[in-house]
Amino acid sequence: MALKRVLSGMQPSGKLHLGNVVGAVNNWLKLQEEYDSFFFIADWHALTTHYEHTENLVQNKREMMIDWLTVGLDPEKATLFVQSDRKEHAELHPILSMITPLSWLERVPTYKEKMAQIQGRDLSTYGFLGYPVLQTADILLYKSDIVPVGIDQLPHLELAREIVRTFHHVYKKEIFTEPQSKMTEIPKLTGNDGRKMSKSYGNALFISDPEEEVRKKIMSYVTDTARIKKTDPGSPENCNLFPLHKIFTNQEKNNEIVESCKNASIGCVDCKKIAVDSVNKYLEPIKEKRREVEALKDDIVDMYKQGTDKARTIAQGTMELVNKTIRI
Ligand code: SF4
């Protein structure tokens, strides 16, 4: 029996950080063992919010290609490619846009939330509003059965299903699979300021950060703000640093930290030092692997080209069917 197909993408916003790794990529590593997996670098999507800053795009894509291979995405197991290398995404997008009511896009919760969050940029563009339609094109192009999503992305997938139904209704032919969500439990990793770890917030710990950089960043974490003095009992649940321990410090030590924090027998500085060691220990083999991958030079591009070729066969097949159905 053919494996179900799963598809997911990531915007090339620079080097991979720990939030990306624990939030998405670690999940992809499992998926590539169980599904016919398609993972793409979503460079067109990056333009929806950063259209005026393309100066680093080429470099960012290169970094992402290296980082993906570094953390274990395997071109022999998964189809890895860059979105803009398959022009069919841009061919299907306007076709789906024609049948998508504006009101559906305006009510997507992330539209207004992101507008409010991202300051200093004019996001009242067609591209930003139509972002979920491009996402739908990505999904349908490869006849994806499953899309891994966090809870905030669920409305996008529901929109994709509604677009599928509308297409089938308008053109009287059922050619697409309605994609299903695979809910992913995403461990929340916070940066030193307590916000979600993100490159755009300037609070990210990158997998390629040297040890000293990791130390500096972790030592700058704001911890439990209610814990003024070392003798005050702390609360790991209210501490921005603690998620790092939860993920990177071993269970036994973790339990010890919880106890010692609550009974004030450990200070935040010492606790941070333990986190520095845990994260550096976790990153050590990753950085070693990154050096090996970097040494592959042009072979890296070839590995992604292999994915692009596989993606081409499927994407072109879908577009032939779409164009025949709509009589283009
Ligand atoms: S001791 Fe550790 S867990 Fe407790 S508040 Fe300080 S940094 Fe956070």
The ranges assigned to domains in the chain are 5-188+298-325, 209-291
Q: Are 289 and 21 a contacting pair, CB within 8 Å?
A: no
State residue 50's pLDDT score: 80
Which residues form ligand 1's pocket by a CB distance below 6 Å?
223-224, 227, 234, 236, 239, 241-242, 257, 261, 266, 268, 271-272
CATH superfamily of 5-188+298-325: HUPs (3.40.50.620)
Domain covering 209-291, topology: Tyrosyl-Transfer RNA Synthetase (1.10.240)
Question: Is the per-residue pLDDT at 158 higher than 90?
Answer: yes
Q: Is the pTM of this model over 0.85?
A: yes
Same topology between domain 5-188+298-325 and domain 209-291: no
Q: Residue 41 pairs with which residues in a beta bridge?
A: 10, 82
Question: Is the per-residue pLDDT at 185 higher than 80?
Answer: no
Residues labelled as active-site residues: 114, 196, 199
State residue 51's pLDDT score: 86
Question: Is the per-residue pLDDT at 71 higher than 90?
Answer: yes
Span 239-251, average pLDDT: 96
Mapping DSSP to helix (H, G, I), strand (E, B) and coil, where does residue 50 land? helix
- Number of neighbouring beta carbons within 10 Å of residue 159: 19
Question: Is the per-residue pLDDT at 114 higher than 80?
Answer: no
Residue of the nearest CA to atom 5 in ligand 1? 224
> From the CA of 173, how far away is ligand 1's center (Å)?
59
Each residue of 197-226: pLDDT tens digit?
988 788 999 999 999 999 999 999 999 999
Scored b (16 or more CB within 10 A) or e, 270-307 reads: ebbebbbbbbbebbeebeeebeebeeeeeebeebbeeb
Q: Are 146 and 4 a contacting pair, CB within 8 Å?
A: yes
State residue 118's pLDDT score: 72
pLDDT band at 112 (very low <50, low <70, confident <90, very high): confident
